[in-house]
Structure 1
């Protein structure tokens, strides 16, 4: 009876042999886990590769193989016995066997590791971006993965995705440098850093944890001075080139150009596909050219309606870079707009009346230049922007019809009966039309609000016209030299 009791209550340890298949790309690292929380003093942990011993922990001490194929690439966790293989090579493919021996018995676990060949074999993926750009560090995940993104020498946690619990969280970092800049993608596990700054340069590591192993990827991000040109002024009819900052497109690169959210050009280098498009309303038909080496986009014979924000997305296997360039197309020529005959008349007038007339003309010219300075309204994303009618010698009356258009589309109007109608679509409740002076306020502005606005005041069959150009920039990314209060009126 005593023996029977001992059999029932003594610890029971079953010998198990289980297998996991692990696929890892060249250059990545992988940790094969024991699932122990802590090694006991009497435990012996042994790892073998294709039958040959790789590593062992016994009585608190560790030893590694002298095989040069794994030289300096093996790490053992002294607490759990997990084995980490860094900078995986295709020659690392094979069977890894774990054997745990303790006073209770022993167990074995087998991992079948496949080192997948990759064109990018670097252990650390290097990414170079410009200040103010956004960059996405790409990765691929499976259904129940848990993903941790870490930054810097302290391995500070900056983002976490738990596919099982459907939780996504980002962190500001120990000094708050990532505040409002990070986005973690639940579907892909990728991490986007928006409006990147130089203090975001450094090493980023992503750990993709699965049931019995963890895959590690490392990215080294270098942030250089921002592009000299983030905002471009061009005279109507001239050509303008929007640069990607690339010197050469890589084999796996894909480049997508957008204007107000619409695809206008695309490059898929692997397929040698270089396609400019006409745009949703055909406005760019025959006027777009792509540089096959750099991916830059040239717009020929520019028009006023080409004003607005252009976005380029450069996607590779390891990262994606996002850039935005604001283009403003001004009226042709920089003079007063007088015809040749009018200029000749002025010259004759000056000859007759002398210096007094020159002073009058100078004052008139100064007034015109001040009017032209009112042509552009630049605001930071989220702010409100008022577009205020400025007509010389004309006052808006209560019976006037008022129409506001954006990119040619009617967005707000006031009828002769004073009734206001908003066709705000993409503005979604963010427009406000003043019934007295006819001004239009755009609230909570977004970069997609950038572009040409047109005000028409209709009275007894006659029309008066104001044109405005609005540019909306990311927070903290308003280009130098672009005032925040100027309005474009003509």
Structure 2
């Protein structure tokens, strides 16, 4: 009797309706495409696939027929073999609850996807760069375990980040045009194209397959590399020179940094309406000489002097892309002829190398403080960890923020002491590694963080430039923590 009852229960279990109560959260940026997967290898003739948005049916597969309904029926696309739903060029109005229902002779199953579309008011997908500049196409995500990101150019694979298989590679492209130019970020999978040329213009796509295997995000970028390389500018002493950003207008969430000899001299954080000039260079050579164009981000140096000779760098960090520009400025005596200027310029370059070598020799203890800055960002409310790397247990550490001491460690055994209470208990310090974590960040936490490491009487250090962006207004529906990098570390 018991065996018969168990058999009946088993049959009932097989034919009952299965409902998957789990809701898969999917966040995308306006203009992206997203594929919601059924995880069906092949639809059988008896299967009926039905997709609904907020209760209204939008697509059905039944008896080998595909029917799409609703106001946006041209954009949802159904895969006839698997029943996967692809929503192209997604808009904020496509946000909502997508419900998948699969019915067949064995019963039915359901899966719910909560899709949120982030407003793309400043999500510029069309990226213009000057020939010779570098550009980074941001994936907009942090790589999770088993995530796979594949980059394509004109539909040909050129790079892949697959942590599960260990494939972390770039290619030269089908015709070799990307030789030695592509670089993948191991944390985000973002793609950098160095020394761009006209042949690198075209359509790029990031195909992001999430580890949950329930959905795939497609992000597209149109890159145009044109114009002449602006790697060198010449100006006579006393005149003004403008270093152009080559932007028509700064976008809402852009971050821009102008640097001279690896030191930040100007900063723009559009979201915070911050247009800052740091003309108190160590020797004040830029005092009252810098002007920022608040529309384009171009930088003007007035009343130039020969001490303004050197390499200037501009880093533009947007949610979609990063651009890195380098401009060499040569300031000459107005009384010299062109031929003399060329000759002296060569001599000055050679002399500069000799002087630089001497400076490095005598100022070795601060050489690491001139470390290169790689700007990213963090949004208000998120946490960020500044990792110094390579710290030893007996090292003395001194953390500073905007020149003021905020924490110190005499040794790992004695632990850290916090000197500045402006963070209100939001600092966490790792006694062993020396890492500094800022929790629940606010806009006032933005700025330059410096770490001095004292080891055997010698001083070295690292710098971190943190920019905390204000939270995007609720009307933009931005609730996706994977759409932007979660850390902002410069060092």
Q: Shared fold by TM > 0.5? A: yes
Structure 2 gaps of 5+ residues are 369-491
Bigger RCO (CA 8 Å, 6+ sep) = 2
Q: 1-side partners of 2:129 and 2:354: how far apart?
A: 39
Match of 1:50 among 51, 54, 73: 54
Secondary structure (helix, strand or coil) at the match of 2:307 reads helix
Specify the alignment match of 2:179 in structure 1: 179
| Residue 369 to residue 60, structure 1, CA distance change in 2 (3 Å) | closer
Q: 1-side partners of 2:366 and 2:141: how far apart?
A: 39
Match of 1:303 among 265, 285, 305: 305
- Provide TM-score, normalisation by structure 1: 0.64
| Residue 371 to residue 315, structure 1, CA distance change in 2 (3 Å) | closer
Q: 2-side partners of 1:265 and 1:178: how far apart?
A: 32
Q: 2-side partners of 1:70 and 1:307: how far apart?
A: 57
Q: 1-side partners of 2:36 and 2:137: how far apart?
A: 24
How big is the shift at 1:333?
A: 2.4
Secondary structure (helix, strand or coil) at the match of 1:115 reads strand
Partners of 1:264 and 1:279 within 8 A in 2 = yes
Partners of 1:144 and 1:162 within 8 A in 2 = no
| Residue 166 to residue 260, structure 1, CA distance change in 2 (3 Å) | farther
Q: Deviations over 1:11-63 (max 9, x none)?
A: 95772413212223332221111112222333322212233322222343322
How big is the shift at 1:260?
A: 2.1
Cα RMSD after superposing both structures:
3.7
Partners of 1:310 and 1:325 within 8 A in 2 = yes
Partners of 2:258 and 2:314 within 8 A in 1 = yes
How big is the shift at 1:295?
A: 1.6
Partners of 1:411 and 1:423 within 8 A in 2 = no
Q: 1-side partners of 2:321 and 2:351: how far apart?
A: 43
Q: 1-side partners of 2:39 and 2:226: how far apart?
A: 43
Secondary structure (helix, strand or coil) at the match of 1:70 reads coil
Specify the alignment match of 2:190 in structure 1: 190
Q: 1-side partners of 2:65 and 2:254: how far apart?
A: 47
- Provide TM-score, normalisation by structure 2: 0.64
Is the deviation greater in 303-312 or in 3-12?
A: 3-12
Is the deviation greater in 45-54 or in 143-152?
A: 143-152
Q: How does 1:231-310 map to 2 (within 5 A)?
A: 231-277=232-278, 278-310=280-312
Partners of 2:33 and 2:89 within 8 A in 1 = yes
Partners of 1:90 and 1:116 within 8 A in 2 = yes
Specify the alignment match of 1:204 in structure 2: 204
Partners of 2:122 and 2:252 within 8 A in 1 = no
Specify the alignment match of 2:402 in structure 1: none
Question: Is 1:221 aligned to residue 223 of structure 2?
Answer: yes
How big is the shift at 1:335?
A: 5.2
| Residue 232 to residue 57, structure 1, CA distance change in 2 (3 Å) | same
| Residue 90 to residue 272, structure 1, CA distance change in 2 (3 Å) | closer
| Residue 91 to residue 241, structure 1, CA distance change in 2 (3 Å) | closer
Q: 2-side partners of 1:249 and 1:146: how far apart?
A: 32
Specify the alignment match of 1:86 in structure 2: 88
How big is the shift at 1:167?
A: 5.3
Q: 1-side partners of 2:301 and 2:10: how far apart?
A: 82
Partners of 2:315 and 2:324 within 8 A in 1 = yes
Secondary structure (helix, strand or coil) at the match of 2:140 reads coil
Secondary structure (helix, strand or coil) at the match of 1:406 reads helix
Specify the alignment match of 2:323 in structure 1: 321
Q: Which has the larger radius of gyration?
A: 1
Q: 1-side partners of 2:357 and 2:233: how far apart?
A: 19
How many residue pairs get matched?
Answer: 362
Specify the alignment match of 1:22 in structure 2: 26
Match of 1:99 among 98, 101, 113: 101
Specify the alignment match of 1:126 in structure 2: 126
Specify the alignment match of 2:139 in structure 1: 139
How big is the shift at 1:263?
A: 0.6
| Residue 110 to residue 324, structure 1, CA distance change in 2 (3 Å) | same
How big is the shift at 1:217?
A: 1.8
